[in-house]
């Protein structure tokens, strides 16, 4: 990193930690990041789930270029007919299970969560929400209130509510969902919670309990959507359709885009009493929608969910073969894997050692002893083999 740019970075850019990674990215291609000092890094977190197709996909780049020549922002929140936006909404409706046929676009996943919360309150006329221990739904005030880690909530309290936090993957706790609850929000697979894959009986019981209580069931598929866990959407693993589905990250093909989808009567409440009661300046931006539609068609055409299932199984097989006393467990689904370490400090040293070896990984916010791997869906077995080789070396480095 040039010293001048480093100084500007430290002086003017708001820092989100005391020790930022500090890689100066010169370019990115496929699963690789290239820095200004001539090094390359295998991106095993895909820009935190955004780069499902890897970096610099030519089909997406061409779609962005075409849309940029037509127009950028005009007005996006459901008043103008914008072709890229309409076509993406229609394609999503084709891929989603009935009756999830209407889409509200936002700028991000956290904004989509906020929209889902407002919709649930207005549709049901109720106030309370249920979330789960270990959950992560974003960092805006409403989304933060749902967070399953009290340490992240505490500095910003009082937060919007009421919110009840129940144990994740525990059917017995679901009795707390009653007629006061507007919506129950859950990650079908918890990522920041430590890559936790629930029993399908828990998700089905949750659906049944919400039906009995008259509460809306909201699935947060911001990370798990678009092939990440071996299906187009995680809901397909459980045979459960939520009332509201929240999407983002890979949705925009590398550009900022979020969305929430629901049946007609649910989303209709945002259109009246008052009109324009929920709007967004940049949600569904034409450039993002053009990129998102192009990326979605690549995911479908190249059968990337199936590829993620196959490559993910191979990745977990290689990780399970690592004989290291520091590792307590390896788990995952599709191309979302978690390595649980017996000691969180060792996990942090391991992440730093992996970076020094040219592999980008990270620990999970709500289970800091768990290291997450979520590479682009296009990663090859050769790249997986390189990653595992470097991770083995990083284990040895972290011990010293």
Contact (CB, 8 A) for 381 and 311: yes
Write the CB contacts of 261 (distance below 8 Å, at least 6 apart in sequence): 92, 93, 96, 100, 101, 102, 103, 104, 244, 245, 247
**Mean pLDDT on 169-181:** 97
| pTM across the whole model | 0.96
pLDDT score, position 1: 53
CA neighbor of 96 nearest in space, from 260, 301, 233, 248: 233
Q: Which two tokens stand for residue 113?
A: 């969560």
HEC assignment per residue over 170-208: CHHHHHHCCCCEEEEEECCCECCCCCECCCHHHHHHHHH
Domain boundaries, the chain: 3-56+303-399, 58-301
Task: Note the pLDDT tens digit of each residue in 135-161.
Answer: 999 999 999 999 999 999 999 999 999
Contact (CB, 8 A) for 165 and 145: no
CA dihedral 259, 29, 372, 19 (to 10 degrees): -100
| Cβ count within 10 A of residue 386 | 17
Task: Note the pLDDT tens digit of each residue in 312-346.
Answer: 999 999 999 998 999 999 999 999 999 999 999 99
Q: Is the per-residue pLDDT at 376 higher than 70?
A: yes
Q: Is the per-residue pLDDT at 76 higher than 80?
A: no
Q: Which two tokens stand for residue 366?
A: 């709500």
Task: Note the pLDDT tens digit of each residue in 192-206.
Answer: 999 999 999 999 999
CA 66 to the chain's CA centroid = 27
pLDDT score, position 19: 80
**Mean pLDDT on 10-25:** 84
**Mean pLDDT on 38-42:** 96
**Mean pLDDT on 52-64:** 98
pLDDT score, position 78: 66
- Distance, in Å, from the CA atom of 11 to the CA atom of 105, rounded to the nearest integer, reads 34
The region of weakest confidence among 7-21, 217-231, 247-261 is 7-21
Partners of 354 in the beta sheet? none
* CA 318 to each of CA 155, 376, 392: distance values in angstroms, whole numbers, following the listed order: 40, 17, 11
Which of the pair, 7 or 391, is modelled with greater confidence? Answer: 391
pLDDT score, position 276: 87
**Mean pLDDT on 358-362:** 97
**Mean pLDDT on 71-85:** 88
**What burial letters (b/e) apply to 239-275, b meaning 16+ CB within 10 Å?**
ebbbbbbbbbbbbbbbbbbbbbbbeeebbebbeeeee
pLDDT score, position 18: 81
Contact (CB, 8 A) for 154 and 121: no
- Distance, in Å, from the CA atom of 312 to the CA atom of 334, rounded to the nearest integer, reads 5
pLDDT score, position 10: 84
Task: Note the pLDDT tens digit of each residue in 258-271.
Answer: 999 999 999 999 99
Q: Is the per-residue pLDDT at 4 higher than 90?
A: no
pLDDT score, position 16: 80
Q: Say which CATH class 58-301 falls into.
A: alpha beta
Q: Say which CATH class 3-56+303-399 falls into.
A: alpha beta
Helix (H) or strand (E) holding 244: strand 244-247
**Mean pLDDT on 234-259:** 98
* CA 199 to each of CA 170, 171, 230: distance values in angstroms, whole numbers, following the listed order: 9, 10, 16
Task: Note the pLDDT tens digit of each residue in 279-305.
Answer: 999 999 999 999 999 999 999 999 999
């Amino acid at each position: 990193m040039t010293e001048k740019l480093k100084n500007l970075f430290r002086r003017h850019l708001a820092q989100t930690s005391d020790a930022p990674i500090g890689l100066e990215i010169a370019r990115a291609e496929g699963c690789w990041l290239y820095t200004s000092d001539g090094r390359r890094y295998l991106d095993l977190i895909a820009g935190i789930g955004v780069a499902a197709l890897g970096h610099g996909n030519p089909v997406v780049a061409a779609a962005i270029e075409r849309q940029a020549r037509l127009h950028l922002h005009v007005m996006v929140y459901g008043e103008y007919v914008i072709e890229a936006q309409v076509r993406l909404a229609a394609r999503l409706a084709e891929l989603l299970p009935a009756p999830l046929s209407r889409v509200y676009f936002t700028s991000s996943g956290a904004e989509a969560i906020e929209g889902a919360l407002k919709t649930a309150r207005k549709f049901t006329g109720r106030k309370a929400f249920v979330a789960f221990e270990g959950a992560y739904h974003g960092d805006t005030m409403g989304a933060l209130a749902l967070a399953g880690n009290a340490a992240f909530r505490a500095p910003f309290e009082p937060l919007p509510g009421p919110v009840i936090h129940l144990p994740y993957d525990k059917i017995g706790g679901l009795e707390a969902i009653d007629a006061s609850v507007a919506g129950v929000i859950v990650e079908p697979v918890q990522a920041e919670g430590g890559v936790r894959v629930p029993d399908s009986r828990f998700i089905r019981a949750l659906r049944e309990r919400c039906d009995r209580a008259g509460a809306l069931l909201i699935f947060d598929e911001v990370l798990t959507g678009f092939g990440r866990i071996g299906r187009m959407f995680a809901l397909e693993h459980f045979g459960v359709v939520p009332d509201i589905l929240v999407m983002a990250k890979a949705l925009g093909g590398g550009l900022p885009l979020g969305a929430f989808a629901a049946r007609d009567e649910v989303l209709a409440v945002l259109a009246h009493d008052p009109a324009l009661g929920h709007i967004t300046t940049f949600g569904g931006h034409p450039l993002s929608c053009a990129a998102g539609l192009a990326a979605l068609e690549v995911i479908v055409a190249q059968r990337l969910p199936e590829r993620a299932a196959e490559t993910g199984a191979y990745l977990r097989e290689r990780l399970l073969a690592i004989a290291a006393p520091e590792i307590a467990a390896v788990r995952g689904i599709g191309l979302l894997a978690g390595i649980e370490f017996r000691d969180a400090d060792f996990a942090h040293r391991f992440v730093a050692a992996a970076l020094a070896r040219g592999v980008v990984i990270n620990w999970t916010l709500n289970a800091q002893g768990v290291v997450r791997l979520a590479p682009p869906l296009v990663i090859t077995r050769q790249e997986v083999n390189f990653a595992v080789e470097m991770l083995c070396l990083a284990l040895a480095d972290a011990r010293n």
